[in-house]
Structure 1
Amino acid sequence: MMYYRPLVRHGETRPEGALPLAGGSLWFSEVELLSREAPPRIVPVGLVPAEVRHRLTFRRAAIAGLDMTRPKIMGILNATPDSFSDGGRHIGVAAGVEAAQRMVAEGADMLDIGGESTRPGAAFVPEEEEIARTIPVIAAIRATSDVPISIDTRKAAVAMDALEAGAQLVNDVSGFTYDAALAPLAAQAGAPVCVMHSQGDPETMQKDPRYDHVLLDVYDYLEKQVDRLEATGILRDQIVVDPGIGFGKTQAHNLSLIKGLSLFHGLGCPILLGVSRKRFIGDIGQEPQADKRAPGSIAVALAGVAKGVQMLRVHDVAETAQALRLWQATR
């Protein structure tokens, strides 16, 4: 099997035959051919099959009302006591609403609200507790704001209550493998979804994760899950894919995925990149304290934007928004 990774470029001057990436302002005129049997090689876009070219180039549909031709910022709002960098800061309705208002003012295009920590080693949270942590916050935000809201959950009961309270997108870190009822629920509700790759669950995922070829293995997994979600009744253009940086991956795995991110455009879906404050950023950037990793997080986020990523899931909204405005201005 061949895989086609567009070599993404920017700028107004383009070579003859260059194609737009995902309907946006970035473009490519060459692709890297990847396979499990042969070394990589670079070929012109003219040698790419028509179906693959279509998936790489067509304009992505709006997600929860957000235009996917320009990168969007998803602000992280963890209503948990034990998330790795902000646990305990947003517990309760008042704290959650205050954080939401601040992030929207700082430039968040969407809020991602979760009630179960997914940090390495995190314990399972019963759905009743997850509902109690998240639903009142979602309802209170929706009462005063029309900002798009994502519910970060792997449980159908939580997602159902969240959608009824005003959430619009279901973001499942298990890739819709944990609860068989979740995908049909999203399909019935007509809600867009984000499907993420993870090897193992939060309690075990960092215990010696291994891959044959991490970039291609993650691509194959996401392709299979996108096809399954489509079969459930969710439109492909309403599916966001997330390679799951830090979820069952070593530092080397994470870097390989980030370097090869543009491969995932071949799925024909918007790409979400969630790297904010993660451990590999602290290790490489030599910053042990998670809430001081904004510079490293922004550096990786912009590397993703340069490869055409449509969504950035971040803690540091104001700093990321400022960096993104400058990145766009210089291009």
Structure 2
Amino acid sequence: MASHDHQTPPFFKRGLPPAARLTIYLALSFSLLVADLRLHYLETLRQALSVLTYPLQIAAATPADFVSNASDYFSGLISVQRENKRLKTQQLNMASQVLFTEQLQRENIELRGLLAMQASLKVRSTAAEIIFTARDPFSRKVILNKGGQQDIEPGSPVVDPLGVIGQVTRVFPLHAEVTLLSDKEQAIPVIVERSGLRAVMFGTGNGLMELKFLAANAEVKPGDRILTSGLDGVFAPGLPVATVLKVTRDSAESFARILCRPTGSVERNGPVLVLSRTGPRPQRPADDDSIDPRRASGGRIRQNKAEAPASAPTPASAPAPAQSVAPPAAASPARKEP
């Protein structure tokens, strides 16, 4: 009975006190640290543990990395969109500046050409600008921003830096109407620069011009320059007019068909020069009454013949009209009667 009542001493039930355990653990940890610092015997173990725990580290860091990467992506996307919008606005501004610069360069080239043209001409000129095209769809006419108040006169030639483009046909106080060379009603005396042939250039109404009244065997070929001849006293001689584009020769026709392309910017707007006349205004032709009846038209001669019986001519003047009207064939039998 006494053996059954034996119990373990309290010391062995409780074990070491907590303070003693702490002291032992601290001493052991300090010893391991010093030994690892001196001998590095835990390096292999440390590397093995890092390899084994790397997937766990990745798995633990994935949510945080995902949130960080998503935040960086959306913030970067917003930044890129803002930058893209800013660059597009800058591109539009630069494009408008480039277009404006190109327009200024073209205007500068045209104005320099006008100054060179004005310096080469010996006549008075007035700078003007084409503001719009006339409303008539069947004609080639433009309107200038200068008129009678700027001493613009009807019939004045109009040129641009490349050559002749037309002639002033109507003048108003503040603007003037110019008929272009390509108009069907417009004609200009010209000369072929290479061969020296003189002719008349007519508009075709479709932006081209035609050199008329040249023989089928005339010395003209594509590429020849056509200049003003100055024979009309309106256009100064030597101004570029057109370039021969196509020459059609037909043995059945007396004249060649010669199409030309205007040298000046006939169909475009821009600065121009209005030139003064090279000579005085042509005088109006004399009436038919002052023309010799023998050189008058056939209708006038017939009219005089019809009026002869009604009048009472003198015997000295009566035979004169008969001699001027009677054909030679009618006079030959009269000489054979004796």
Do both share a fold (TM > 0.5)?
no
TM range (shorter): under 0.3
Q: TM-score, normalised by structure 1?
A: 0.21
Specify which structure has the higher proportion of strand.
Answer: 2
RCO (CA 8 Å, sep 6+): is it higher in 1 or 2?
1
Q: TM-score, normalised by structure 2?
A: 0.21
Q: Highest Rg: 1 or 2?
A: 2
